[in-house]
Structure 1
């Protein structure tokens, strides 16, 4: 018998036992759904991270008083200070010491490298009120300067940005995200600019509404309130507040030079001696995204382990069902051999049956895994992910599982004695 005849016979045998085939396909599909679903979700998360940080550009960096796991340049014990530490003991200079408002503003005034500097601070979250309407109590409040919207790549769909008078007077003006505007003023967002709102118990006047970030909402940028950093310092005063400094270098090729210049200037401003470590950390924007990508490696490893366990279970289940099929079709096998079918033909037929069932389960699992994984895409509002690589891997794994699971039943079926098989009841 040629390949076409054997395959046709195997396919008819598979479709004849619909209940058994359906159960086996479901077992295989469950395993593949888990694998493809997890990896699709990971790809969706990566897309969300990429969208969120690409808006800031690869030519920017952030200065903080605390480490973000990924550090370069001015980090304590890193960059230029690392060589000093290897030769002699380096003194500790108040590790994690806060960056005060005065230090941040002094840096902004004195940093004359071709760049844009933005100062910001997040005091916490509040409930925003407008008349009888209010939001959830998890609205992030951010105090920024006149460059904050430019640095974070926000656009205004209505109103204006902060001006020098807003910064100097620290008056109660706010720019709100579109989600807040819709919540408080309706879907059409009429008469938002100029309207009064309350952040907690403090009254503010809305001067602008942000344009929706759309797909870049890993950190809910449409659900924030931005006021001036000077206002935040006055209204939400925190004794140990540490301000963040964002720097966007005009020429990406000058990034390292800019980081070196910023490190030296801030060390001078914070009065750090030559024999002392830097007590601040400089992190590139693309390093933050890379750090988040690396953190997903643990999820990837867990997915591989879960997938391996599931596939092993699926292989065992498929092999057991195929063995049961051999026992149930003993007489059929005897008839086939009596009509001239060779042991090789019987063995090939059962291998084809196992592979057909496994691959069917793979296709079903890939489909549902893709749907389940893209739930993350819906949540993050990123583009729909079609994981072609994992689709191919999933179907290929199913073919391998079917082949391995069908070997033992196929050999058992091919070795049946035709006379004994014909007598089997």
Structure 2
């Protein structure tokens, strides 16, 4: 029991000190109560931290795709679904290089650039006694790839038409691969590297491009697409990047490309498209759908956890009032007003709730950023959601602490001091 003799003149600081003393006196009970709030806050903060980090990556990904650029590919960029729909996509035939060439012939005069690429599973690149991690993406591409996909050449040259026509064994290195195989003082040009059992001469090195959608865009080795098709024995589908002549013609170019791709694929009027158009808008729409679904789930979990923790706070505070009946009676007999008792018990409830909120915020931000860093995304500190979480915790403390606080304030001092 901890009493202050001059109850009528208690300041907020005194009330706070007294509230903390009472909570510390019951450490285990206070800790268990705060954990309920922490779980609710953790779930929403962790999810929103991770989603904000992913959102930044989506924005950078859209920037890398280009304002007037879109892609044609076999599968959707993002896909969440089950059974029948998934098998429908998986059973589509690959987009072949021959179909790509026919598409280019039909669309070349209507576009600014058309680039081809086809990628393999992760590989390991070697030079002398140096190795990369076995996660390098070996990509076959044409001489339009770099321009269409926004890659700048830092050293050396791009592929030319002869490299593609004669399937020469030249390679362009992403900046990450170049840094792994060649120290800053060593010029990688004209050096021979080995990847997938094949030897390639380094013709150029790309400028650093960064990550998009959680994946590095610099961890690649580019070889002529014709050599890729001749020497890499892996089933893959062609990806076509198209840059419209202008923003004004962007939508018209997409419509024309769909028609040209249907012709190249030999589809009849009644057959649906068996390819996907990947645009800035489709990517952001897909992300927003996923974001809404995840956020809704996190809100439901958080609401249930916070509701149950609020009830827990109320029950704990009611028990506390019962246990401290004598203390309340003594304080009232010494002149403590009802308002002072009410404020102290409300303050205890708020402290429990806010403490749980702080634990949830710290662990939630940490967990969300661990997820972000795992996918090569920048760390995020979601200030808005932290402010919302603290406000909600304060409201929970006041709402669920009001009944116990009111019960304590209305206790009759004579009854409270009467021996049971």
TM range (shorter): 0.7 to 0.9
* Range moving further from structure 2, 23-32 or 217-226: 23-32
Which of 283, 295, 312 is 1:300 aligned to? 295
Runs of at least 4 residues of structure 1 off by over 6 A? 1-4
1:296 to partner: Cα distance: 3.1
Per the alignment, in what secondary structure is the counterpart of residue 252 of structure 1?
Answer: coil
Tell me what 1:358 maps to: 353
Give the whole-Å Cα distance in 1 for the aligned partners of 2:191 and 2:419: 87
TM-score, length basis structure 1? 0.83
Q: CA-to-partner distance for each residue in 1:125-180, whole Å, 9 max, x for gaps?
A: 22222223323333211111112122222223322211122111111111122222
Q: CA deviation at 1:344?
A: 4.7
Residue matched to 1:33: 42
Output the CA distance in 1 between the equivalents of 2:243 and 2:130.
Answer: 38
The TM-score normalised by the length of structure 2 is: 0.84
CA distances 1:185-214 after superposition (whole Å, capped 9, x unpaired): 34x262222211111211111222222223
Offset of residue 424 of structure 1: 5.5
**For residue 224 of structure 2, what is the aligned residue in structure 1?**
228
Number of the residue aligned with 2:82: none
Matched, 1:127 2:136: no
Give the 5 Å matches for 1:93-242. Answer: 96-111=92-107, 112-186=109-183, 188=184, 190-214=186-210, 216=212, 218-238=214-234, 241-242=236-237
For the residue of structure 2 that corresponds to 1:309, the secondary structure is: helix
1:356 Cα deviation after fit: 3.4
Determine helix, strand or coil for the equivalent of 2:120. strand
Distance 2:34 2:75 in 1: 52
Q: Write out aligned runs for 1:50-65 (5 A).
A: 50-65=59-74
Structure 1 distance, partners of 2:65, 2:218, is: 16
3-state secondary structure, aligned to 2:342: helix
Q: Which residue of 1 aligns with 2:382?
A: 387
- Deviation per residue, 1:328-373 (Å, 9 max, x gap): 4322211222233444542343123312332344345334433332
When the two chains are superposed, the root-mean-square deviation of aligned CA atoms in Å is 3.0
CA distance in 2, matches of 1:204, 1:4: 84
Structure 2 residue ranges without an equivalent (≥5): 1-5, 80-90
Q: Distance in 2 between matches of 1:241 and 1:116?
A: 22
From 8, 19, 41, the counterpart of 1:14: 19
Question: 1:340 aligned to 2:319?
Answer: no
- Whole-Å separation in 2 of the counterparts to 1:251 and 1:354: 61
Counterpart CA distance in 2 for 1:299 and 1:195 is: 48
Query: Is contact 2:19-2:347 (8 Å) kept?
Result: no
Q: State the secondary structure of the residue aligned to 1:335.
A: helix
Once residues 193 and 2 of structure 1 are traced to their aligned partners in structure 2, the CA distance between those partners, rounded to angstroms, is 83
* Secondary structure, counterpart of 2:260 in structure 1: helix
Aligned partners of 1:27 and 1:65: how far apart in 2? 46
C-alpha separation in 1, matches of 2:389 and 2:383? 10
Task: Describe the superposition over 1:106-129 as per-residue Cα deviations: whole angstroms up to 9, x where unpaired.
Answer: 222331113211111113322222
On the 8 A contact 1:326/1:413 being kept in 2, the answer is yes
**Once the 2 structures are TM-superposed, how far is the Cα of residue 104 of structure 1 from its aligned partner?**
0.6
